[in-house]
Amino acid sequence: MGFSSLFAGGALKIIKHPSKQLRADLLQACLLPAPKGTSYANYARCVHQILQGLNNMQLWLRIPLVKVDDDSTDVKSDHLVDSWDLWNSFRLLCEHHSQLSIAIDVLSTLPSPNALGRWFGESVRAAIFSTDCFLTNSRGYPCLSKRHQKLITGLFNHSIQVVLSGKPLHNVSKGSADLPSGLNKNSSDGAQSHPLRCYLDYIAFLYQRMDPLPEQERIELGYRDFLQAPLQPLMDNLESQTYETFEKDRVKYIQYQRAIVKALKDRVADENASSITTVLMVVGAGRGPLVRAALQAGEETGRKLKVYAVEKNPNAVVTLHSLVKMEGWERIVTIISCDMRYWDASEKADILVSELLGSFGDNELSPECLDGAQRFLKQDGISIPSSYTSFIQPITASKLYNDVKAHKDVSHFETAYVVKLHNVARLSPPQPVFTFTHPNWTPDGSNQRYKKLAFEIPNDTGAALVHGFAGYFDATLYGDVHLGIEPSTATPNMFSWFAIFFPLRTPICVRPGSPVEVHFWRCCSPHKVWYEWCVTSPSQSPLHNCNGRSYWVGL
């Protein structure tokens, strides 16, 4: 191959093939050749044996990024199979080992966008671009097609290293003035004469012109693909740091204020604004951001308010008292230090406001809390939020699966996690699961739910592995004011919620045209609420979390 060149995260390196043997403990990874043909069990066995004795080094298996469409005519006969199938068979033989990763060989033609998307949920560490992939622009410089450019942007966004290989096919004079605009012509490492320098310059140009990460994304970088246990808001009192994080989410409270404004205007006509006082109760008031939003809504609309702030956390109540005194709200706001389910209100509310939603909508027991609190809401009273719906979608999430698998027990596979999803492939659009509406005046209404869903994976995706399901919610606060994290309708720039992840004990391989059939239950007992889930097609999975044996939320 001669020389290979590496560009990663904006840092440019020229690497010659070593003439001396390197110590294995100093290597980041060892690049393995692609499997040949269709029989590679012995190869996988040898690799698996090596993996058992590795410490920190990874093995990167080269996989050709083969176009699987019917019009694929430029791919060698050895690679007519879907390259994802090759990878999947190999990693299954190696038991999904976390130190076995992928270096994809990018060819001059690319699979469909859906087929490409699968790889962002796999453990891809490098993408090898041959000089054969490059086109020539009008000035004689190498360039890439729009689809290859988009792929490189996706690779950089997922911290995947880009490797250049092959012989230089473009004869570009050194120091030419025709370099792309914004590119540095002078190399500080003296590599200007490198045969692949013009290709490296072009990759660097693509990197430099990428849009910077939004501020919120930069803040959340450390949370990407990190498994967190969901909150237990009734069993545990939240810490001050948790409150402080949530309170910084201005977008959420702006939406709540908009909803309260609309509710106040509908509740009290303009001509009665000075004579009627609206009783508004904030249940689960925390340290007061919803109280502030309610009072600002009252000021905006000119409506008179009497506010009850109900909070069970004694530490938050101390902060609430300080806030009320500091802001001079003593004549408007009454603080109730009590669990909303057990408080006996002296009067009934016109508007009931809460922020009890979890990543899956109902997973922090909003239905149970609001059912207990609605007894002090007037029959024609307004609940904010008025309804919320949970959503799920099947995903490929190799890193999350390996992180759960590392615990080596069943209980972690039967637990739902809060995750800032990043290195995942979303295989099908989300579908609604459970919906709750408030107030709920149905006598003897149950909060138990069951839903069966079927997801169609687009045919051009090819085969894929489902490691679990991503969960989201969308809530209607009031009228047309909504709040949520379901990707197609997500509230922009809001960070109070990450998605929830329901793992599968054994990943399910899905073939084109085979629907993924999944069953979800929301189960309730006098003391806890839990979810159970299973897949019944294209293959059967065990029932996860039977009777809430591994994961539940305490009442």
Find out whether the peptide bond into 111 is cis, omega within 30 degrees of 0. no
- Judgement on whether residues 257 and 406 belong to the same structural domain of the protein: no
Residue 3 has pLDDT above 60, yes or no: no
Sequence letter at residue 94: C
Cα–Cα distance, 364 to 358 (Å, whole number): 5
What would the pLDDT profile of 6-36 be if each residue is shown by its tens digit?
443 333 333 334 444 445 556 889 999 999 8
Mean pLDDT of all residues in 252-267: 96
Share of the chain above pLDDT 90, in %: 70
Residue 355 has pLDDT above 60, yes or no: yes
Beta bridge partners of 161: 126
What is the pLDDT of the chain when averaged over all its residues?
87
pLDDT of residue 186: 47
Q: In what order do the strands lie in the sheet with 377-384?
A: 333-337, 304-311, 277-283, 349-354, 377-384
- Judgement on whether residues 351 and 394 belong to the same structural domain of the protein: no
Quick check: is 374 in a domain? no
Residue 343's CATH number: 3.40.50.150
pTM listed for this prediction: 0.88
Residue 182 has pLDDT above 70, yes or no: no
Quick check: is 220 in a domain? no
- Using DSSP's 3-state secondary structure scheme, residue 482 falls into strand
Structure tokens at 153: 């942007």
Q: For residue 60, what is the DSSP state?
A: E
Cα–Cα distance, 10 to 33 (Å, whole number): 27
- Judgement on whether residues 200 and 244 belong to the same structural domain of the protein: no
Mean pLDDT of all residues in 469-494: 96
Residue 439's CATH number: 2.70.160.11
- Judgement on whether residues 333 and 400 belong to the same structural domain of the protein: no
Sequence letter at residue 18: P
CA angle in degrees (0–180, nearest 5) for 168-170-175: 100
For residue 248, report the phi and psi dihedrals to the nearest 5 degrees.
-80, -10
Q: How many CB atoms lie within 10 A of CB 380?
A: 8
Quick check: is 219 in a domain? no
Quick check: is 422 in a domain? yes
Residue 359 contacts residue 227 (beta carbons within 8 Å): no
Residue 160's CATH number: 3.20.20.150
Residue 187 has pLDDT above 80, yes or no: no
Quick check: is 365 in a domain? no
Annotate 128-190 with DSSP letters as a single string: EEEGGG-EE-TTS-EE--HHHHHHHHHHHHTT-EEEEES-------TT-TTSPTT---S-TTS
Mean pLDDT of all residues in 64-81: 55
- Judgement on whether residues 71 and 188 belong to the same structural domain of the protein: yes
pLDDT of residue 172: 64
Residue 67 has pLDDT above 80, yes or no: no
- Judgement on whether residues 268 and 177 belong to the same structural domain of the protein: no
- Judgement on whether residues 496 and 399 belong to the same structural domain of the protein: yes
Last residue of a domain, one of 211, 231, 263: 211
pLDDT of residue 14: 36
pLDDT of residue 347: 93
Q: In what order do the strands lie in the sheet with 553-554?
A: 449-455, 516-524, 528-537, 553-554
Beta bridge partners of 524: 529
**Confidence band of 68 (pLDDT split at 50, 70, 90):** low
- Using DSSP's 3-state secondary structure scheme, residue 7 falls into strand
What would the pLDDT profile of 393-438 be if each residue is shown by its tens digit?
999 999 999 999 999 999 999 999 999 999 999 999 999 999 999 9
- Judgement on whether residues 287 and 204 belong to the same structural domain of the protein: no
**Confidence band of 4 (pLDDT split at 50, 70, 90):** very low
Please state, in angstroms and as integers, the Cα–Cα distance from residue 460 to each residue in 69, 207, 376, 383, 394, following that order.
7, 29, 54, 44, 16
Quick check: is 218 in a domain? no
Beta bridge partners of 518: 453, 535
- Judgement on whether residues 194 and 244 belong to the same structural domain of the protein: no
Find out whether the peptide bond into 385 is cis, omega within 30 degrees of 0. yes
- Judgement on whether residues 285 and 399 belong to the same structural domain of the protein: no
169: domain range? 4-211
By annotation, the residues acting in catalysis are: 355, 364
- Judgement on whether residues 35 and 140 belong to the same structural domain of the protein: yes
Strands 277-283 and 349-354 turn out to be parallel
Residue 249 has pLDDT above 60, yes or no: yes
Last residue of a domain, one of 159, 194, 211: 211
Among 333, 345, 337, 332, which residue's Cα sits nearest to residue 374? 345
Residue 522 contacts residue 531 (beta carbons within 8 Å): yes
Residue 194 has pLDDT above 90, yes or no: no
More confident residue, 341 or 260: 260
- Judgement on whether residues 331 and 266 belong to the same structural domain of the protein: yes
Residue carrying the six token digits 């509740």:
267
Residue 551 has pLDDT above 50, yes or no: yes
Residue 524 has pLDDT above 80, yes or no: yes
Strands 29-32 and 553-554 turn out to be unpaired
- What is the count of structural domains for the chain? 3
What would the pLDDT profile of 140-151 be if each residue is shown by its tens digit?
889 999 999 999
Beta bridge partners of 279: 306
Quick check: is 229 in a domain? no
Mean pLDDT of all residues in 229-235: 75
Quick check: is 259 in a domain? yes
